[in-house]
Amino acid sequence: MNTTNTQTIPLIEVQNVSKIFGSVIALKDISMQVHAGEVMCLLGDNGAGKSTLIKILSGVHRPSDGHYMVEGKEARFSSPRDALSAGIATVFQDLAMIPLMGISRNFFLGSEPTVGWGPFRRFDVNYANRVTREELSRMGIQIRDTGQPVGTLSGGERQSVAIARAVYFGAKVLILDEPTAALGVKEAGIVLRYIAQARARGLGVIFITHNPHHAFPIGDHFTLLNRGRSLGTFAKSEISREELTSMMAGGEELDTLSHELAEFARTDAIAGAALAEAAREFEEEAGISHGTQHQAQAGQAE
Ligand SMILES: Nc1ncnc2c1ncn2[C@@H]1O[C@H](COP(=O)(O)OP(=O)(O)O)[C@@H](O)[C@H]1O
Ligand SMILES: [Mg+2]
């Protein structure tokens, strides 16, 4: 049962945040909010300030000016670890995974479960394998072998392991920095589907992309950055895909973009189908797990 009031207090809010590096104004006067169960897309071209903003949210940088609130309280993070313990998980582009290690080893990287004690303490392989398999299957990912090296997974699968891991360790906010940038059309559709899964499980998601055609099908709100300034935040009902695209492109690049539109349209068809499928699965899952709240520390066997 969802008893939290998600309407009034945002999980994350920045008010008039600026960030200056020496003489570079990376961000100026940015305001945005993210609520539980919603996807906020942060859009902007290279150099717009997207990564700088999420580095503030994830505790890497302190804002030069303005306010950063987490669940209504001023946040004072001095490291990404502080942000993580406040429930803000960031999946950076390099993912912080070890390619040669297996999926379940990577899933528990930094929080290894152990069995035995004293000199006999060791990584609890069975527990790790079971939880990894369960958590991935909750996200709709079936894996044959949890010992399979992460480096042999596709880009989309690696992103999905990172997302499932953040959800399992109790993240309230999931920040994804350009998770679809390096992916092909089909793989990008898969990642969009996992973003939908995280949202359906009540997380607030911040999805960074420079591709409005990835953002549009999944986003509830869109904040557009341009050279460190905000062009505004729009609810999905307030903006069309075309408006989003032309605001991003700033007009003069529309020629190049129209050339790419055919491929984008295909992306959307795949993402749309994947989202419809995710929605169906969630209706089923919601029916089953309504009374049994997800336990972040899921130590108990069912
Ligand atoms: N640590 C830093 N020191 C100096 N300038 C920086 C630093 N980080 C980012 N910038 C500058 O801030 C601007 C925004 O960068 P960034 O946030 O990485 O943009 P985006 O992620 O949207 O491509 C760029 O001009 C970039 O060069
Ligand atoms: Mg960036």
Residues 99, 182 within the same domain:
yes
Residues 234, 268 within the same domain:
no
In Å, what is the CA distance from 166 to each residue of 34, 119, 173, 266? 17, 30, 9, 29
Task: Determine the pLDDT at residue 12.
Answer: 96
Quote the domain boundaries for residue 38: 6-104+149-240
Q: How far apart are CA 75 and CA 109, in angstroms?
A: 26
> Which of 19, 28, 52, 207 is the pocket-test mutation for ligand 1 (most atoms within 8 Å of CB)?
52
- What is the pairing mode between strands 114-115 and 122-123? antiparallel
For residues 87 and 77, the answer to whether their CB atoms sit within 8 Å is: no
Q: Give the closest residue to 108 by CA, choosing from 147, 67, 59.
A: 147
Q: Categorise residue 49: left if φ over 0, alpha if ψ from -120 to 50, beta otherwise.
A: left
Residues 98, 215 within the same domain:
yes
Sorted by sequence, the CB contacts under 8 Å of residue 112 that are 6+ apart come out as 123, 124, 128
Is residue 139, in this structure, part of any structural domain at all?
Answer: no
Tokens at 35, concatenated:
């609520």
Is residue 109, in this structure, part of any structural domain at all?
Answer: no
Tokens at 127, concatenated:
């527990």
Task: Determine the pLDDT at residue 111.
Answer: 79
Number of domains observed in the structure of the chain: 2
Which atom of ligand 1 lies at the shortest distance from residue 210's CA? 22
Give residue 228 CA to ligand 1 midpoint distance, Å.
9
Task: Determine the pLDDT at residue 218.
Answer: 94
Mean pLDDT score, 276-299: 54
Ligand 1 atom 18: the closest Cα is on which residue? 51
Entry pTM: 0.76
Is residue 195, in this structure, part of any structural domain at all?
Answer: yes
Average pLDDT, the chain: 83
Give residue 48 CA to ligand 2 midpoint distance, Å.
8
Per-residue pLDDT reduced to its tens digit, 126-160: 999 999 999 888 877 788 899 999 888 887 888 88
In which element (H, E) is residue 10 found? Answer: none
Residues 169, 43 within the same domain:
yes
Mean pLDDT score, 66-94: 90
Chosen domain end from 194, 212, 240: 240
In Å, what is the CA distance from 48 to each residue of 44, 90, 209, 231? 5, 19, 11, 11
Is residue 135, in this structure, part of any structural domain at all?
Answer: no
Residues 201, 293 within the same domain:
no
Residues 48, 67 within the same domain:
yes
Residues 254, 236 within the same domain:
no
* pLDDT at 254 > cutoff 60: no
Give residue 51 CA to ligand 2 midpoint distance, Å.
4
Residues 282, 223 within the same domain:
no
Residues 78, 193 within the same domain:
yes
CATH number of the domain that residue 70 is part of? 3.40.50.300
> Which of 21, 60, 206 is the pocket-test mutation for ligand 1 (most atoms within 8 Å of CB)?
21
The binding-site residues of ligand 1, defined as CB within 6 angstroms of any ligand atom, are 21, 24, 26, 44, 46-52
